[in-house]
A and B are shown apart, each in its own frame.
Chain A
Amino acid sequence: MKPKTNLHPKWRELKLTGRLLRSNPTAMAGLIILVAMGLMALCAGWLAPYDPIKLSLGERLQPPGAVHWFGTDEMGRDILSRVMFGARISLRIGFVVICIAGGLGSVIGAVAGYYGGRVDNIIMRVMDVILSFPSLVLAMALAAAMGPSLNNAIMAVAFVMIPKFARLVRGEALSVKEMPFIAAARVSGARNRWIIAHHILPNCLNSVIVLGTLTLGDTILIAASLSFIGLGAQPPTPEWGAMISVGRKFLLDQWWYATFPGLFILTTVIGFNILGDALRDILDPRIRR
């Protein structure tokens, strides 16, 4: 059996992933949504027709129309521009949280799973305690205790997300550490730390990516909820959750105010969820074979 090309195996894997992704229409839909959101966030500075925080009281609460596609808010700010800049914030929150929570959670989980015994017990009981709170409630408590600001909200959400990753990686680590190549590494003198970094963690990466994508949606939702109750982004930051929070006061007569940021949260979260679902299937070795 000779490989068709002489590509590096990692590249081959990636190409396979790409092919599977393309052949999966829902995954593509999710990906397209997210790429569009990402581009919108990156290019908000050029794309947005107006300054998102500049007040123009004379144009307050204009309905959607040719001048303001999504209408204006109670300060005369263009909602389309605010939603575009809001994408920056929401996506940033999502990615930063997943990087922190995914990184820390994976390491914690790998350590627990690899060493086992008492270390495992202590770490996982702590994780259970965190998990025993509903994540939104715990995030609210933390954010309130640290004081309302965007960065504190990010820390709070990241904290409550850690156990999800820790649990997942621990489970994977338990099975990976029984593999013959770990024994081989150990026999050839590799230290535990090296084995965790070079064998355990890379082997868990697929599941972490899947969970990360799935969790990103939740993360954006929780962060928006925190902003909604005033614990996250502070005015005049155009965060989606904060916009809905103010917009709901006008919902009866000015439907567009809360609706557009709400639609963007909905779309983004759905995008991450369907992409995550699809990635889970695509990256599953049993299906790939």
Chain B
Amino acid sequence: MKRWIGIVQMVFFLSLIGAPWVGAAGPDTLVVGVSSDIHTLDSGVSSDNYDWRQIYPCYDRLVKYKVINGKGSTEVEPQAAESWSVSDDGTVWTFKIRKGMAFDDGTALDATAVKFSFERTLKIGKGPADNIGAIKAMRIVDPYTLEVTLKNAYGPFLQTLATDGANIVNPNIMKHEKGGDLAQAWLAEHTDGSGPFKLVEWTRGQRAVLEAKSNYWGGAPKVKKVVVRFMAESADRRMALERGDIDIAENILIDQIPALEKNPDVAVQRYPSQLVEYVYINNQKSPLDNPKVRQALCYAVDYQGIIDYVLQGNGVQMRGPVPKGMWGHKSDLFQHTLDAAKAKSLLKEAGFGSGLNLTLIYSERRSSWEQIATILQSNFAQIGVTLKLQLMANPTLRDRVDKGDFELCLGAWSPDFADPFMFMNFWFDSKLWGLPGNRSFYKNDEVDALIRKAASIADQGQRTQLYQKAQEIIMDDAPYIFLYQVQTVVPMRKNVHGYVYNPMLESMYNFESISKE
């Protein structure tokens, strides 16, 4: 029995030790509680909003998303670029760069720095390169004038310059280059931009700390420090928010929201988002290379049950890849619904009438995923598919997705600029297999041709037609299981002011204008 008393004592003391460490932060420090650690800080590499949350405020971009009446919009306004002009055919853009901006080591932010940053991102060729992939060539007209030539007129070009992939990086980072890696190893763990913040600490699995620059050209941020704490448990984040240890809690389990709303110190805001959650089906792995098997899986999912109960109605089922609210969405596109009998017969036709074993990998990145995974397991069991669930750390999961080392995987995606390109080209272009976007390793030449053509013309009506035609083929091929589009719920302390939500900047914050009383 003594052992038991010992354990009880130990737990008691540990809980005492734990308590003082997490004191409430002062008005100069903003603390955000998030679900998972970050991956890299290199804006030329990362295609993850959770990384961008930290990277984005450390850099300036040529343009930024406008805030209209306190709401984020998809229109852009000048940031590092003072003004710009465009040739009549829409292919040559000339940017006048604002004078007086500098990186921390005194290097001026000029046309050279912009050209360097874009070239670096394009050379690395990961996900962000596709954001600014329209660029063909760049020419420095004078130190503060940059001329950018596009491969073709490209509608959303200006907006792509407001995304994290278009961050302007200090050219001096090249002194950290090792073995021709374009300083990727160094920039993965550091930031070097002219933005309002800089990263001063990243303790893996614990926290990242951004420090405000009082001499930022756009005016000093209102808080001096931003601490992003990695707290895996939704319940932990919620308690920390209620205690005031953190100011903003990301990704709280929807079941806990009603209780949070009762707390007088907490404000819960809901925003219609374009964030979608879906399942990557590895199209290259047998038996998932058979479209009938993929179709069967799509028919086996209880979409309405998930939305009604797990999301508590805070979402709608996806209809094809392009979310509602984005142009190019096809409101009469075919949509899978739960039909176990049809799923079974499809499996039988594919030669798996006797059943099938599959593995789904997922992380705790989104608080709902564990429940979704369990529901999928049960749904698939109805059609004779035994689903093994494998939970892993988010960085491990992303590595496996990039390598194609999985069968099924839960994913979330949100657009960085308001163009169906974000969905159609990223998700289905066979050149973008892996993390950059085509995470189901899908390849269909017809779709490739359609979406590439759509990306190469400017006329929105014509592009809509091409994208919608591609969507019809895609629904037959069923490369993903399209689950739902969610509402973003952001609970924060009532004394936090100035937060602006933008569906293009999902999970990213305008730290520079947020203040705390």
Name A residues whose Cβ lies closer than 8 Å to a Cβ of B: 53-55, 57-58, 60-61, 74-76, 148, 230, 234-236, 246, 248-254, 270, 273-274, 277
Q: Are B375 and A57 in contact (CB under 8 A)?
A: yes
A246 and B370 within 8 A (CB): yes
Residues of B within 8 A of A246 (CB): 370
CB interface residues, B 330-381, toward A, < 8 Å: 367, 370-371, 373-375, 377-378
Decide: A75 and B239 in contact? CB cutoff 8 A. Answer: no
- Determine if A235 and B377 form an interchain contact, defined as CB atoms under 8 angstroms apart: yes
Q: Which residues of B contact A54 (CB under 8 A)?
A: 378
Tell which of A236, A249, A270 touches B377, judged by Cβ atoms closer than 8 Å: A236
With contact pairs A236-B378, A246-B370, A249-B235 given, residues A74 and B255 touching in the complex (Cβ less than 8 Å): yes
Interface residue B207 (Cβ < 8 Å from any Cβ of A): no
Contact sample, A vs B, 24 pairs, CB 8 Å cutoff:
A53-B378, A55-B374, A57-B302, A57-B310, A57-B375, A74-B255, A75-B374, A75-B375, A76-B309, A148-B390, A235-B389, A236-B374, A236-B378, A246-B370, A248-B235, A249-B233, A249-B234, A249-B370, A250-B253, A252-B235, A252-B239, A252-B259, A270-B4, A273-B4
Contact B235 A55 (CB under 8 A): no
Contact of B253 among A55, A75, A148, A249 (CB under 8 A): A249
Q: What's the Cα separation between A252 and B371 when bound, in Å?
A: 17
In angstroms, Cα B370 to Cα A254, docked, is 17
Task: Tell me which residues across on chain A come within 8 A of B403, comparing CB atoms.
Answer: none
Alpha-carbon distance A158/B238, docked complex (angstroms): 38
Report Cα–Cα, A41/B91, bound state, in Å.
Answer: 73
How far is A251 from B1 in the complex, measured between Cα atoms in Å? 28
Main secondary structure of the interface of B (DSSP, over half): helix
User: Interface residues, chain B, CB within 8 Å of chain A?
Assistant: 1, 4, 233-235, 238-239, 253, 255-256, 259, 302, 305, 308-310, 367, 370-371, 373-375, 377-378, 388-391
Nearest residue (CB) in B for A252 is B235
Chain B min CB distance to A78 (Å): 14
A-chain residues with CB within 8 Å of residue B1 when the two chains form the complex: 273-274, 277
- In the assembled complex, the Cα of A218 lies from the Cα of B282 at a distance in Å of 42
10 shortest interchain CB distances as A-B pairs: A57-B309, A55-B378, A57-B305, A230-B391, A235-B389, A253-B259, A252-B235, A249-B235, A60-B309, A235-B374
- Shortest C-beta distance, B375 to chain A (Å), equals 7
Complex alpha-carbon distance, A60 and B389, angstroms: 21
Cα distance A27–B388 in the bound complex, in angstroms: 42
| Contact in complex: A251, B235 (CB < 8 Å) | yes
The residue in A61, A235, A246 that gathers the most chain B C-beta atoms within 10 A of its C-beta is: A235
Kindly list chain A residues whose C-beta atoms are within 8 Å of the C-beta of B238. 252
Closest to B370 in A: A246
CB distance from A135 to the nearest CB of B (A): 13
Question: Which residues in A have their C-beta under 8 angstroms from that of B388?
Answer: 234
| A55 and B375 within 8 A (CB) | yes
Q: Which chain A positions have C-beta within 8 A of B308?
A: 57
Cα of A21 to Cα of B256 in the assembled complex, Å: 49
Majority secondary structure, A binding face? loop
Q: Which residue of the partner chain B has the closest CB to A26?
A: B1
* Chain B residue, CB-CB nearest to A251: B235
Nearest CB in chain B: distance from A253 CB, A:
5
Closest chain A CB from B438 CB (angstroms): 29
| Chain A residues positioned under 8 Å from B309 (CB to CB) | 57-58, 60, 76
**9 extra A-B contacts, CB within 8 A, seeds A75-B375, A249-B234:** A57-B309, A60-B309, A76-B309, A234-B388, A235-B374, A252-B239, A253-B255, A270-B4, A277-B1
CA distance A235 to B375 in the complex (A): 11
- The minimal Cβ–Cβ distance linking B473 to chain A, given in whole angstroms, is 33
Which residue of chain B lies nearest to A266 when distances are taken between CB atoms in the complex? B4
Q: Is the beta-carbon distance between B235 and A250 smaller than 8 angstroms?
A: yes
Closest residue of chain B to A149, judged by CB? B388
Taking a contact as CB atoms closer than 8 A, the residue among A53, A61, A235 that contacts B255 in the complex is A61
Q: Whole-angstrom distance between the alpha carbons of A131 and B477 in the complex?
A: 55
Contact: A74 with B371, CB < 8 Å? yes
Residue numbers in A under 8 Å from B378 (CB-CB)? 53-55, 75, 236
Expressed in whole angstroms, the minimum distance between the Cβ of A270 and any Cβ of chain B is 8
A251 to B256 alpha-carbon distance, docked (Å) = 10
B253 / chain A contacts, CB cutoff of 8 Å: 249-250
List, in ascending order, chain B residues with CB within 8 A of A60's CB.
309
Check B256–A252 contact: CB distance below 8 A: yes
Q: Which among A54, A55, A234 has the greatest number of chain B C-beta atoms within 10 A?
A: A55
Please name the residue on chain A nearest to B390 by beta carbon.
A148
- Tell me the minimal C-beta distance from A221 to chain B in angstroms: 10
Nearest Cβ on chain B to A56's Cβ, whole angstroms: 10
In the complex, A252 Cα to B252 Cα: how many Å? 13
Complex CA distance for A274 and B1, rounded to whole angstroms: 8
Q: CB-CB < 8 A to B233: which residues of A?
A: 248-249
Q: Which of A57, A248, A249 counts the most chain B CB atoms within 10 A? A: A249
CB B7 to nearest CB in A, in angstroms, measures 10
- Minimum CB–CB distance for A82 against chain B, Å: 13
Looking at the assembled complex, report how far the CB atom of B118 sits from the nearest CB atom of chain A, in whole angstroms.
42
- Chain A residues in 8 Å Cβ range of B371: 74-75
* A149 CB to nearest chain B CB (Å): 9
| Minimum Cβ distance to chain B for residue A246 (Å) | 7
- Whole-angstrom distance between the alpha carbons of A250 and B371 in the complex? 12
Inside 8 A of A250's CB, which chain B residues have their CB?
Answer: 235, 253, 255
Bound Cα distance A273, B6 (Å): 15
- What CA separation (Å) do A74 and B253 show in the bound complex? 11
Q: Which residue of A lies closest to B304 (CB)?
A: A57
C-alpha spacing A57/B338, complex, angstroms = 15
Inter-chain CA distance A225–B375, complex, in Å, is 24
Q: How far is the CB of B380 from chain A (nearest CB, A)?
A: 12
Tell me the complex Cα distance, A58–B308, Å: 9
Q: How far is the CB of B400 from chain A (nearest CB, A)?
A: 14
A236 to B371, CA, bound (A): 11
What separation, in Å, do the CA atoms of A234 and B235 have in the docked complex? 22
CA distance A254 to B258 in the complex (A): 13
C-alpha spacing A60/B310, complex, angstroms: 9
* Contact A234 B259, beta carbon cutoff 8 Å: no
Give the CA-CA distance A76 to B306 in the complex, in Å: 12
Q: How far is the CA of A277 from the CA of B377 in the complex (A)?
A: 43
Complex Cα spacing A75 to B305, Å: 10
Nearest Cβ on chain B to A250's Cβ, whole angstroms? 7
Contacts of B377 in A (CB 8 A): 235-236
Chain A neighbourhood of B373, CB < 8 A = 235
Which residue on chain B has the smallest CB distance to residue A229? B391
Task: Considering the complex, give the chain A residue whose CB is closest to the CB of B389.
Answer: A235
- How far, in angstroms, from A121 to B426 measured CA to CA in the complex? 63
State in angstroms the CA–CA spacing of A58 and B375 once bound together. Answer: 13
Of B367, B373, B388, most A-chain CB atoms within 10 Å = B388
A79 vs B308: C-alpha distance when bound (angstroms) = 21
Which residues of A are found within 8 Å of B302, using beta-carbon distances? Answer: 57
Q: Which residue of A lies closest to B312 (CB)?
A: A60
- What residues of A have a CB within 8 angstroms of the CB of B4 in the complex? 270, 273
Contacts of A253 in B (CB 8 A): 255-256, 259
A234: which of B234, B310, B367, B389 is its contact (CB, 8 Å)?
Answer: B389
